[in-house]
Each structure stands twice: as structure tokens, then as C-alpha cells.
Structure 1
Amino acid sequence: MASLHPTTPDVYGPGSHTDKTFTPVPEETQRIFNLLVSETPGFTNNKNALSKVRFEGDEFPVLPGPIKAVPISSALHAMTGVIANEILSQRDLPESESVLVNTTQVGFWFALVGLGYVGGENVLSLVKQQKTKSIVPDFEQGWYDKPIKYRGTSIYPTKDPKVWYAIHGSLAAEPMLKSMGIDTETPCNSNDEAWERIAEYTRTKSPEELEMFNVMNGNCGSICFTPEKWNNSEMGKALAARPFIDVRPQSHAAPTPRIAFPPVSSNDRRPLAGIKVVEMTRIIAGPVIGNFLASYGAEVIRINAEHLIDINVMQLSLNTGKRTIGLDIRKSEDLDYLKSLIRDADVFIQGFRINKLPKYGLGVNDLLTMAAERQTGYVYVSENCYGTSGPYAERPGWQQIADTAAGSASVQGRAFGLENGESVLPSLPISDMTTGLVGALGAMMALRDRARHGGSYHVHSSLVAVNTTGLRPEIGLYSPDIVKENQERFKWAPMRGAHHVFELLFNVCDGWKQYFGQNLDEDSGLFSSFEKSAFGEKKLSVLKPCVMMVGVEKEGELGWKTGSVPYCFEKKEDVKWASAA
């Protein structure tokens, strides 16, 4: 397959593969769609079903850098549409005439958490002015209320002049920084001053010393590997042994019969209508799985814990179509209630480390026991940083750590012409969003297969796997000429290793605003609006789903019936499945 896509090696460092010619984004997306379909175990090979897929959008990339995030994600969006058609057929509903994905809209989708409106005001404007606390409940616990905390998540130089290192404060940077002996008490006057204070320490340590220190102390961190270094590591080899879209039938479990999809309602004919989902996740990747399934019609109840830090602005978009409750599973009554919800659910989504939930009776094998008892299989969806096996499977990690581990940040830095190995994060929460999309696609495939064959399924999506997929030779990277032309077109401000993902997001959205202008306005047709939201009863607008199932009746259109709500919005005693209410 690699020979069919000619690339030049090592343009952006060892293990990188750069296209020799440029193909417009919609056409390139079709090629990548065909590739991913051919490589995904259990995906349909029905030519008629695949021929319904169409891509449209700007011919030129809309994101900075060489990584083909938009074509990859657009292909995955289309794959969900293909599975949705199969599910519609299983439910004796007419399939769509075509599955249409606008690739430019997928680019905007990566900025979902910022591209919205509350009471007519742009969400990013609210964030920049630090006005979100007046609109949403505060779950942040001051995680970035001073520069040293904010720069506790960043990329730093090391004693090796050509290797950089990423640290991540896990939304509570001070304990990590103190463990490194870094002064967090003396005020810093700016983010730059805070970055330099931390850099003074990291420059005295080799990348290996920083890595071992963080492993020993349970901190998040990663060497900024090149793609070659990651692929040749034991961690990289373990991850590469699993498919990108990883759906695992649990054939070792007690058998459970085929379970037909619920009866079709006259007022909701979306593909997943009547499917019950329990989501227990934080931040972005996990919530995107539930958000996506909700847009296809699933009933999603999201669990949050009030003692865990989260990011306030996420409440405006990632809870669309969901109900939310607060639980503390360290308390027996809350854990019992959660298990009662799961007992009647079809899908359980969790975003914790591999061995975190089994001690609460919420691991894969625990749900397989419940499946045998109720004689109905489960779809268990998990997402994490490094995958389910290998030396780092249990290590904590976030989007930024995955981007640096796999080599994406190294490639991005080289593409921007930075010297001495300076690495730069991809400009948006791309791996977070795409990991959520992969989890949702896997869940839909598993639900389809449960109806066909019975049984339970474990779906896993990995942040690092998203990055490694984007760096494969079969995918390719955009050439330096395309990266330069992109920079000239959108006039991005400089992007550096010190920059936080929020700063990069602001940068990209500023470039889009000056280039696309009114096409990103609230009334542009890109947004779904809810006139009275749970946020002060203000009008709330969020980006529409990127998949259009062309030709379905109105009751089958994708989207959300309800707007987003805050975390822990309802009391647990008031929340029941709609079919049981």
C-alpha cells in the first residue's frame, strides 16, 4: 500500500514521510477513507454502501502544519455514516441516499469547545475575558490562576540541546512542580517568566532523567520523540500490534444472545435512538464519544465527580444531548446507583487508566459478569493515552503527552522551521477529538455486531494511536511548500513549544476569523441553536454534526434534541432511563 502513495522520507525528521505531490483535501480524504476502510477489521466491504460516501470542502488545508488531521478525521466521520446506514437497515428503516462530509467543517470541529455562542457572544471571547465563571459552574479549582500553574503544562528544553521534554500538570501542576524542586510560591509576572523558571530546571536534566523522575513519581510527561524513535520503542511496537479502530469481541465470556435494536419511535428515527449509554469521563476525548453517540440518537447519561477538576468551557458543548449527574463512587450508595444505571444500559464509556475501575467492580470483566446475569451483552468503550498493552499502558497521559510521545510535536516543530529540536503541539485538541471519534465509531460497529451475532464487545481508542496514524507513510505529510502557503493564507501568529493548547486554539481561530469572516457567524448555518439553555436561559449555539445523512426523513436527521447542560446538573434520584420513566 505504501508504494501506491509516493513520499519523501525524513523531511521533518527521522521516520517522517512527506508527499511528493499535493492532492486537494476532499480527494485526499477519499483516498484515506478507502485505506482506513480496508484496514479496519469488521468494517463493511459492500461496494454499494461505500459508494454512498461523498466529501466536499475547501481544496486547501485549513490547519497549520503538515499533519493531515482533517482528511483522517473526515474519513472517520464518513465511516460512522456507513455504519449508521447498516444500523438503519437492521432497524427496517430506509438508509440515507448518501453520506456527505464537509472537510472544512471537520477542521472547525477540532475547535468545537471554542466555536460556539452563548447569548450571542462568542465562546472564545468569553474565555479570553475570563467571563465563563459567570455563565457555567466553576469546576476548575483555580488550575491556571497563576502563570506557574499555566506553564506547568508545556514543552521544555533539556540538557540534550536537540531533545525537548513535555510536562503536564494534570490540572494540578503545583504538586508536580514542587516534587521537581521548582519554586511555585514566588509570583511570576508573566507566562514567559514562569516558563523560563521551569526551563532553568529542565535544562539541567537529560531527557532520560526527566522521564525516569516522572515515571517514578507518577507524573505525566514525555520525551519529544521523533516518529522513528517512538515506532522503534517497546511502547510503540505494543501499540502498533492493535488495529487503529479496535473492536474486540469478548468471545471468552459467557455467551449472550443477539439483541435487536429497540422498537422505532415515530418521532425519533435516528440510527441509535433508544440505545442507552452511561459515560464516565473527563475533559475532551471521552466526552466526545458520548457527544457523538448522542448526535446519532443515543440516550446518554454522563457521570461527573464534583471533587475532580474539569475545564469550565467544556460544559457548553461536550454535554449536548446528554443528561448529567454528580457521583462519588468512593461512596457505596453512589457506586450502587451507578451500577443500577449500567445494569440497564447498552454502552459504558470510561476514560480512566486501565486498572483504575476494576477495584470498583466496573472493569470489562465485571460488566461481562453482569451481561451473563442479564443475558444481554455490553459494549464497553475505554480511551486512554498509550493503549491497553506495553510498558506504558497504565501510565497517565493527556493529549499533549500523546502528541509529543508519538512524534507529532517533533514533526510540527520541524515544519515551522524551529531549530535544536524544539517541538510544538499540533494547533488544536486534534488527538483528543479524533480519539473520541474513533471510540464512537467502534461503539457503533459493536452495537451493529451485537444485534447480528450477540455477545459483548470491548472498544478501545488511544490518543497516541491517533498520532501514529497521522504519521504513517500510507497517509503522508504535507510538503514544506504547502505548510508555507498555509501560513501565508491564514497569517497564523508564531507557534512555539512554550504555547499552551489554549493559546494555539486562540491563534488558529483568529486566523480563521480573518480568512472565513462571516462564514463562522452564529447564523452561518454551521450551528445548532437552543433558544433557552441551562446557562442562564441564554441562547446556546454549538457546531452541527459533520456528517449529513442525505435523504433521510426529518425524524432521522442527525443532531441533538437537547442543548448542553452543566456538569452534575440533575440529582441522581431524578435521573432514570427515558424508557423506564
Structure 2
Amino acid sequence: MSQTTRIPDVYGPGTFTDRVFVPVPQDTERIFRLLVSQTPGFTQDESLLSKVHFEGEEYPVLPGPIKAVPVAAALHAMLGVVADEILSLRGLDDPNRQIAVNTTHVAFWLGSVALVYLGGQTMASLGQQGKLKSYLTDWEKGWHSTPLKLRGTGIYPTRNPGEWYSLHGSLDVPPLLRSLGIDPDEPNITTNDAAAAHIANFTSLHSPAELEMHMLLRGFCGTICFTPESWSSSAMGRALASHPLINVRPTPYASPTPPTSFPPFNPTNTLPLAGIKVLELTRIIAGPQIGALLSSYGADVIRINAPHLPDITTLQLTLTAGKRTIALDLNDPDDKAHLHSLLREADVFLQGFRPGALTKHGLGLEDLLCLAAQRKKGIVYVSESCYGPDGLYASRPGWQQIADCASGASYVTGRGLDLTDGECVLPPLPISDMSTGVVGAIGTMMALRDRATKGGSYVVHAALVGVNVVALSEGVGLYPREVVKEGQERFGWGEMRGSHHVLDLLRNVLAGWEGSEVLRGYLREGSGWWQSWEGSDFGGERLSILRPVVRFRRGDTGEDEEGVTPEWKSPSVPYAKWAKEDGQIFKVRHSTNDDAEKMKDMVDLQWYLIVACSLAGAADPPELEDDESDDDFDPNTLTIKQGPHMDKWVY
């Protein structure tokens, strides 16, 4: 479909709408080719690109005109292509290998943080019964414990007719509300609707520019709800547009380092990234999704949470899959030293804080390039942010909701819902969060591929706003109004408004899917679209989460290629599972019941202990012992006897 076949401004200034509907899998193939052509450093080898095959329902399964599913599916296919390149570098080349992406699976993946079975029951069902909290450690610190706290993150009218503003409380809403003259503890506000109306009364007193200046001066999170045109013509929009969506670049000004080959496969892991070590310092969804994708392709990921920073409790059920989790406070000198010791052996450092925010902790790009030079081994520095690496707003705090409103995605969604007075509404799932996760993972794998063949260190930027801008671009296009209307009739989605939190919208979409006979079948735990583990860390219950999207298939049989098709090698675990303990023994609890996987965990752990001891100046690593008095080895009772200089090792 050429760009001349699109109609301008159907959904407002700067929008481009398809004249003719193209079934989702076919349209995704076109968008895949478009994104490939726009990505510097991505292969243009037709023998590799032609391996990709898209399948799935022909019609869109999300509300609104934005082609979120085709864009995300195209990105997953690109991730599969880079993984196939890496497999070839590692001696597992197969010219007949097929890369399959189901677009309906991708739609579910966009909402997968809520698609969980625990003990055979859905997360939604457990929540309705009041049972979910009993399985999870609370990390939310009451951030949405009252209607005002929940609705403190939302889109509200301003003094200017037709212009709206997005507030975001950054999981600590009271300071933001107080700055606006709103008492966060107002006792008479007892419902979500009343809270939204109360906040709207205050925002309506100010223009968008006044609210923007208020946020800037006080360091709070918020944004004007731009149209696609007004964003692209702004200084911030132009700065971001100067970068490709998948933004990977070498660091030629750094000390050169030689090529770093991928490590040899071990018998229990022949996935593309097996043996790659990733240190993840992120929160909420986008950054953790990068890590979850890398772990599904075989990387060894250590997720770090700051014990004093809130996070969304239920995300532990999905976004820690395949990872090990610890808690470190960078304001604690010992914890900071421990993190730096882990970095010495990391291939990838993944961080989800504002550009430059970690420099004060010695975790800026330049700091890690110095480390790479010292060890003579390149590193991949991955930065996930809202606005990208530079420009006026690069250092502003931002989340998915902010990116949706800044880019114009919320404006377009509101016009697609036929709301009046310019009301803007978030896209119905954490789409930019999840899609930015794929963008970051693609960049990381491209960088690791190039490090293996060319050497050097690499920096990868993944920007939430950038994903939305591409999805709104003329090259991608928007669905016609009649297609949006047909989707609403097919799924019967409920009301969507500006003040609704992304969690409200997510539940709305899930309800529509459950009402569809076809989609309801895919969502059943036994449909084959799930990866399951018995005896999880969450109450000992069986845990099932949506399996990874990309399937590598054999060219001769069409069956999944075992050993290389993405899967998580271990289940999701609580945040900070391997937490610091007092005394002379650090307990290590394993989540898998597979003896081979337990043994692999022990071998990997021993390797980390050797590294830590050598860095600390100890001659020998601590012993690994089995607690049990019987003769049968049981890694579930494995402990680490503290050795020299190991008083601060956390696992």
C-alpha cells in the first residue's frame, strides 16, 4: 500500500488513515519490511527476511484506529531475525529455519502482564476473590489505595476548550495533588468518578501551558496532550525524529576492545543468548520487558530492585520470568560496590531511569566504557526512557501514559472513540511499554551480534514516545473508521475515558476478548499458548504465563524447533527473591523441579561466586553445600557458606 492511498487528518492533524482495510497478517508483513528498511545496521538479506511468516486473525482485536498489533508483531519478527543471525554465528545455521509470528498472540502479549494463571485460576479471578494478595509480596506502598491516589494519574480538561493535560503521580501521587491545591486525604471523595471530577475541577482552572510549567518547575511528571502534528513540529519531536526507532550505535570515541565471541553452549541451554549476562536496573514494564525478552532468548538476567522504590506488585508474576532477582540500594555504599562487582562480568547493562540519572552512582555510559576498556571486553549499555537520548525533554520523568499523550496517540484514540471536546484517552493496553521492550531487545541483540564480529562497545536507546510516533506515521497508517466501528461491535468493549487508568482499560479489553468465542479459546490455560511451571514461588501453585511470541519452525515439518525456540528456563519469581540476610549463611531457593536445571543453577551460581571472590581479593570461593543429612543432593536446600570477603555478596 503506497502512502498516497491514505487520507490525511481523519483523526486530527497529522494523522494518515488507510483508504482500504488490509487483513492484519498481510499488513504486518508490509510494516515489517518498512521497519527493516528504516533500521540502520539491520540485515537486508532477503534469504533471512523471507524466513518470516505472519499468521493470525484477519481483523483487529484491539479498540481504536492505531495499528499497535501489526507494529509490535513486526518488531517481534525483527527480533527473531537477529536471533537467527546469532544462532548462525554460534554454529546453528539453518537456511530452512522459519520464523513464525502469530499476530493474535502478539495482541495478547501486549496485555500479558494481566494474563496469568495461578493454581488454575486467572489473576483476575483471584483478585475478585481477594486471594491474589496472599500470594504476592506487596511493593506498591499504597500508591493507589484511595480513589484520589488512583485518579491522580489520568488525563484531564484544562481551561482551554478542547485541550487536555495528562497527570502522572509516579506511584507517589500525594505530593503532586498537594502542589495543585488538592488534599489527597479528602474524606468525602469515596469513588473513582468523584475523584476524577474533583481533580478536573482544579485542572480546568489552568491552561495546558500553565500546567506544563507547574510540572517542570517542581519536577513532577505530566504532559500536554499533543496532536501528532503538534508533537512532530515541536523541538522535542524534532529531536526524537533525528534518531531511528531502533537506535543502536557503536562508541568510536571509547578505547577499542576486540571482538567478543558468544560463549560455548552448555547442555541445558542452546537458546540464541545462552551464556550472555545481563544486569537489569529497571522498574514497572518497559525496561523489565526488555530483560524478559532477553531471558526468553536464553540470557542470564539479574533483576535489581531498589527496596525503597515502589513497583507494581502483580508484575512479579510475568516480568521476572527467567531472571534472578535481588534488592540493592545504590545509596548504600556496600550495595553500590556489590552492583559494580556484578558489572565487571556483565555483557549488557540495562537501565530504565532518565538519561544521566545514574551518573552520580558511577553507572553512566562513560563509566561503563571505562570498565570495558579496563577489562578489554566491550559492553552493551541499554537505556530505556520516555523521550529519547537528547532534546529539551530528555531528562524529564516519563512513563507509558506520558508517552501516549505526548506523541498524540491518546489524542488519536479519543478521536477514534468519537469523544467530544478533544478528550484524549490512553490506548487500551500498556502498548508503548511492551513495544518499547521489543525495541530495546532488538537493539541489544544487534549490538551483541556486532560485538561478536567487530568488537567494541555499544549504546542502545529505546524511547516510549518513539514507538508511538512510528505507529502514527504515514508509512504505517491508521485503520478506517468503519473498521474501528466493526471492532467495537464485535467485542462490545465498555466505556473508555480520559480519567481511566491503564489498569481500567486493560480490564475492559480482557472482558471483550473473553466475550469472543474464538479468542476465549486461545486464552484458556490448555490452549498451547502458555508456558507453565509446577510449584512456583507464589504459594507453591502452578504458574502459567503467555509463552514468548516468536516460534522457530523446522522448514521440513513446520514444527517448533526445540532448543532454539524462545522459552524461559525458569519461572517468574518475587522481586528481591535473593535478598540480603544476616549471619554466616545465605539461603538459595530454586524454583524449578527439573534436576538438570537445578544443577545448571548451581554451576552458574558457583561461577558467580568465583567472580565475586576474585574481585574481592579472596583466594578461594565459598563452598556450596547441601543442607540435608541424607545422601541425595537437593539443590532446593543449597546454601552458601560464607567465605573470605563475602559478607556483602547478595544472591
TM-score, L = length of structure 2: 0.88
Matched, 1:424 2:432: no
Paired with 1:178 and 1:166, the residues of 2 have a C-alpha distance of 16
Q: How does 1:174-213 map to 2 (within 5 A)?
A: 174-187=174-187, 188-213=189-214
Paired with 2:285 and 2:127, the residues of 1 have a C-alpha distance of 17
Paired with 2:87 and 2:263, the residues of 1 have a C-alpha distance of 12
Matched, 1:24 2:23: yes
Paired with 2:404 and 2:547, the residues of 1 have a C-alpha distance of 27
Q: CA deviation at 1:273?
A: 0.4
What is the aligned-residue RMSD (CA, Å)?
Answer: 1.3
Q: How does 1:171-320 map to 2 (within 5 A)?
A: 171-187=171-187, 188-320=189-321
Q: Over residues 91-121 of structure 1, what are the superposed CA-to-partner deviations in whole Å (9 max), with x where a residue is unaligned?
A: 1113361000000000000111101101111
Matched, 1:357 2:358: yes
Q: CA deviation at 1:129?
A: 4.7
Paired with 1:459 and 1:203, the residues of 2 have a C-alpha distance of 40
Deviates more, 1:91-100 or 1:470-479: 91-100
Paired with 1:190 and 1:525, the residues of 2 have a C-alpha distance of 40
Matched, 1:542 2:545: yes
Q: Over residues 356-397 of structure 1, what are the superposed CA-to-partner deviations in whole Å (9 max), with x where a residue is unaligned?
A: 111110111100000000000000101010111111000000
In structure 2, the CA distance between the partners of 1:473 and 1:128, relative to structure 1 (3 Å rule), is farther
Q: Over residues 422-462 of structure 1, what are the superposed CA-to-partner deviations in whole Å (9 max), with x where a residue is unaligned?
A: 00000000000001110001000000000010000000100
1:63 alignment counterpart? 62
In structure 2, the CA distance between the partners of 1:574 and 1:90, relative to structure 1 (3 Å rule), is farther
- In structure 2, what residue type is equivalent to 1:482? V
Paired with 2:397 and 2:241, the residues of 1 have a C-alpha distance of 19
Deviates more, 1:181-190 or 1:381-390: 181-190
Q: Secondary structure at the match of 2:248?
A: strand
2:521 alignment counterpart? 518
2:14 alignment counterpart? 15
Paired with 2:513 and 2:117, the residues of 1 have a C-alpha distance of 16
Residues 552, 561 of structure 2: 8 Å contact kept: no
Q: Unpaired segments of 5 or more residues in structure 1?
A: none
Matched, 1:147 2:155: no
2:533 alignment counterpart? 530
Paired with 1:104 and 1:70, the residues of 2 have a C-alpha distance of 8
Q: Secondary structure at the match of 2:258?
A: coil
Matched, 1:566 2:600: no
Paired with 1:341 and 1:492, the residues of 2 have a C-alpha distance of 47
Q: Secondary structure at the match of 1:450?
A: helix
Q: CA deviation at 1:5?
A: 5.5
Matched, 1:81 2:80: yes
Paired with 2:142 and 2:28, the residues of 1 have a C-alpha distance of 41
Deviates more, 1:99-108 or 1:186-195: 186-195
Q: CA deviation at 1:577?
A: 5.2
Corresponding residue pairs, total = 580
1:47 alignment counterpart? 46
1:103 alignment counterpart? 103
- In structure 1, what residue type is equivalent to 2:573? V
Larger Rg: 2
In structure 2, the CA distance between the partners of 1:128 and 1:502, relative to structure 1 (3 Å rule), is farther
1:368 alignment counterpart? 369
Q: Over residues 148-199 of structure 1, what are the superposed CA-to-partner deviations in whole Å (9 max), with x where a residue is unaligned?
A: 0000000000001110111001011011100111122222120000111111
Q: Secondary structure at the match of 2:209?
A: helix
- In structure 1, what residue type is equivalent to 2:13? P
- In structure 2, what residue type is equivalent to 1:562? S
Q: CA deviation at 1:207?
A: 0.7
Residues 31, 71 of structure 2: 8 Å contact kept: yes
Residues 553, 561 of structure 2: 8 Å contact kept: no
Residues 3, 474 of structure 2: 8 Å contact kept: no
1:91 alignment counterpart? 90
Matched, 1:554 2:562: yes
Paired with 1:132 and 1:367, the residues of 2 have a C-alpha distance of 40
2:632 alignment counterpart? none
Q: CA deviation at 1:131?
A: 3.5
Paired with 1:307 and 1:129, the residues of 2 have a C-alpha distance of 29
Residues 238, 389 of structure 1: 8 Å contact kept: yes
Q: CA deviation at 1:4?
A: 4.3
Q: CA deviation at 1:130?
A: 4.8
- In structure 2, what residue type is equivalent to 1:315? Q
Paired with 2:254 and 2:347, the residues of 1 have a C-alpha distance of 16
2:627 alignment counterpart? none
Residues 435, 463 of structure 1: 8 Å contact kept: yes
Residues 288, 318 of structure 1: 8 Å contact kept: yes
2:37 alignment counterpart? 38
Q: Over residues 61-99 of structure 1, what are the superposed CA-to-partner deviations in whole Å (9 max), with x where a residue is unaligned?
A: 010000000000000100011111110110111336100
Paired with 1:578 and 1:479, the residues of 2 have a C-alpha distance of 57
1:6 alignment counterpart? 5
Residues 275, 299 of structure 2: 8 Å contact kept: yes
Paired with 1:272 and 1:218, the residues of 2 have a C-alpha distance of 39
- In structure 1, what residue type is equivalent to 2:353? F
Q: How does 1:456-475 map to 2 (within 5 A)?
A: 456-475=457-476
Q: CA deviation at 1:530?
A: 0.5
Residues 132, 312 of structure 1: 8 Å contact kept: no
Q: CA deviation at 1:316?
A: 0.2
Q: CA deviation at 1:578?
A: 6.3
Paired with 1:4 and 1:12, the residues of 2 have a C-alpha distance of 16
Residues 159, 207 of structure 1: 8 Å contact kept: yes
Q: Over residues 465-514 of structure 1, what are the superposed CA-to-partner deviations in whole Å (9 max), with x where a residue is unaligned?
A: 01111110000000100000000000000111111101100000000001
Q: Secondary structure at the match of 1:27?
A: helix
Q: Over residues 22-69 of structure 1, what are the superposed CA-to-partner deviations in whole Å (9 max), with x where a residue is unaligned?
A: 100000000000000011000001110011000000000010000000
In structure 2, the CA distance between the partners of 1:547 and 1:18, relative to structure 1 (3 Å rule), is same
Paired with 1:66 and 1:397, the residues of 2 have a C-alpha distance of 24
Q: Secondary structure at the match of 1:523?
A: helix
Residues 550, 565 of structure 2: 8 Å contact kept: no
Residues 276, 577 of structure 1: 8 Å contact kept: no
Paired with 2:309 and 2:72, the residues of 1 have a C-alpha distance of 30
Q: CA deviation at 1:305?
A: 1.1
Q: Over residues 109-143 of structure 1, what are the superposed CA-to-partner deviations in whole Å (9 max), with x where a residue is unaligned?
A: 01111011011110122334554321110001111
Q: Secondary structure at the match of 1:113?
A: helix
Paired with 1:128 and 1:504, the residues of 2 have a C-alpha distance of 17
Matched, 1:482 2:483: yes
2:441 alignment counterpart? 440
Q: CA deviation at 1:579?
A: 4.1
- In structure 2, what residue type is equivalent to 1:112? S
Residues 303, 327 of structure 1: 8 Å contact kept: yes
Q: Unpaired segments of 5 or more residues in structure 2?
A: 555-559, 581-585, 589-603, 610-651
- In structure 1, what residue type is equivalent to 2:538? F
